[in-house]
Amino acid sequence: MNPNMDYRNDIGFALSADATDPLYKFRKEFLFPQHNGKEVIYFTGNSLGLQPVSVKQALFNELNDWEKYGVEGHFKAKNPWFSYHEMFKEPLTHLVGALPHEVTVMNGLTVNIHLLMVSFYQPQGKRTKILCEAKPFPSDYYAIESQLKFHGLNTKEHLIEVQPREGEHTIKHEDILRAIEENKNELALVFIGGVNYYTGQVFNIKEITQAAHKAGAYAGFDLAHAAGNIQLNLHEWNVDFAAWCSYKYLNSGPGSVSGIFTHEKFANNKELPRFAGWWGYPANKRFLMEPGFTPAFGADGWQLSNAAVFAMAPHKVALEVFAKAGFDALCEKSHRLTGYLEYIIDTVCAENKNANLQIITPRNISERGCQLSVLTGNNGKKIFDYLSDNGVIADWREPNVIRLAPVPLYNSFEDVFVFGQLLNNAFKNI
Ligand SMILES: *Cc1c(COP(=O)(O)O)cnc(C)c1O
């Protein structure tokens, strides 16, 4: 049942777990910030993934081709810029479980949420409502709110936020399904974060999609905290659309490009409303520069602009590291490594009377990725500052949550063990 029963809070355990970890070698492919001459314990890959060693060369190659070819780099560069975005189809199909024509990369995440909602949020008659999880990421909330306003609707009447039950932090799956069912005559769109950024809770995308469709609504997902973190099977789950960013678990650098998924069933749909641009036009006819937009087949038909090569170059090599590691192996390590962090936190709490930490992320491994969100008592900020002063980069969320993400691609069992020692010291010293 529990693959993690053998955990021990000692360095011998951590070192031997690292020694037998087939993914340990990937740590060397990333650059770690330093603290007092040593690598930090970096637990914020859920916010900004570390820089792959290969990124500098990848950027340098593009600079070189720009120097060498000027505009002709669109066709003569080693990776021709004209079709640069096409290189992402293959790796992304594996990451999100999609067909090649269902995915592309473009713009930033919030931009893409808007573009996709232009197509998939079409309030009509009584069917006007959007359903999301309580406390979505603020940008998603602003996007939803402004889309409603754009259609002349207000959030109070037209946005349904499914809440956790009294005294709970995460949302019951059955409550989401019930809210969809209860609003089935008025629901236009279900739009949920695949993994909640605050609690780390993984939502059941497959069943939420089924319920939304049964209610006659579209189902879309923000996968910012899911892509590269949990197994996704968007095509099979029949998800209508999704978008994610590439700078969190996908390690592609600050503000790097976003990915989108639109299901195959819309690939040839020319009726969906959309905001168009020349890169969404069929590539073989793009340079005829003709008036009158027709969308390219599949997700490509949502593109607006030519490829942002300097954002995509890091994305390309970052995805190559993922491919080398293999996603199944990553998920397996993720369960074990995050389980170890859970064990260590529980152990520290058992040993210190003043350690009033509560893990609010689900303890069931099928309902979480690698992030654990820890609710602290009123000494929380002091604990967090102690950890920071001692070389831990974690994430403080007001009012009192510490988010910790041991990332299987570059974090080690030793990282988790040392973190536990520091956490223990923190409670002894404050
Ligand atoms: C990180 C994150 C964003 C960030 O949006 P950008 O447009 O990339 O700045 C949006 N939504 C969610 C759920 C996120 O986790």
Ligand 1 atom at shortest distance from the alpha carbon of 245: 8
pLDDT in tens, 233-278: 999 999 999 999 999 999 999 999 999 999 999 999 999 999 999 9
Mean pLDDT is lowest, of 151-165, 283-297, 380-394, for 283-297
Q: Which residues contact 357 (CB under 8 A, 6 or more apart)?
A: 345, 348, 349, 374, 375, 376, 377
Mean pLDDT over the full length of the chain: 96
Higher-pLDDT residue of 293 and 5 is 293
Query: Are residues 426 and 30 in contact, defined by beta-carbon separation less than 8 angstroms?
Result: no
Instruction: For residue 302, report the distance from its CA to the centre of ligand 1, in Å.
Output: 19
Query: Are residues 82 and 75 in contact, defined by beta-carbon separation less than 8 angstroms?
Result: yes
- C-alpha distances in Å from residue 234, one per residue of 91, 189, 215, 261: 14, 17, 19, 8
Query: Are residues 236 and 265 in contact, defined by beta-carbon separation less than 8 angstroms?
Result: no
Examine the pLDDT at 1 and tell me if it is beyond 70: no
Model pLDDT, residue 430? 84
Closest CA to 374 of 137, 223, 195, 200: 200
The neighbour count for residue 149, using CB atoms within 10 Å, is 12
pTM: 0.96
* Number of residues that make up the chain: 430
Provide CATH 3.90.1150.10 ranges for the chain: 11-31+326-429
Examine the pLDDT at 3 and tell me if it is beyond 60: no
Domain 58-323 class, CATH top level: alpha beta
Q: Is the CB of 102 under 6 A from ligand 1?
A: no
Q: Is the CB of 191 under 6 A from ligand 1?
A: no
Question: How large a percentage of the chain has pLDDT more than 90?
Answer: 94
Superfamily of 11-31+326-429 according to CATH:
Aspartate Aminotransferase, domain 1 (3.90.1150.10)
4 membership: H or E segment, kind and range: none
Structure tokens at 88: 């992402």
Instruction: For residue 247, report the distance from its CA to the centre of ligand 1, in Å.
Output: 10
- Read off the pLDDT of each residue in 143-171 and give the average, rounded to a whole number: 97
- Read off the pLDDT of each residue in 405-411 and give the average, rounded to a whole number: 98
Instruction: For residue 260, report the distance from its CA to the centre of ligand 1, in Å.
Output: 13
Instruction: For residue 109, report the distance from its CA to the centre of ligand 1, in Å.
Output: 6
Closest CA to 112 of 41, 191, 184, 18: 191
Which residue bears the tokens 């930490």? 357
The neighbour count for residue 297, using CB atoms within 10 Å, is 12
E-strand ranges in 200-282 read: 218-222, 241-245, 258-262
Closest CA to 383 of 332, 347, 423: 423
Provide CATH 3.40.640.10 ranges for the chain: 58-323
CA distance 293 to 281: 7
Residue 193, CB-side half-sphere exposure with 13 Å CA sphere: 30
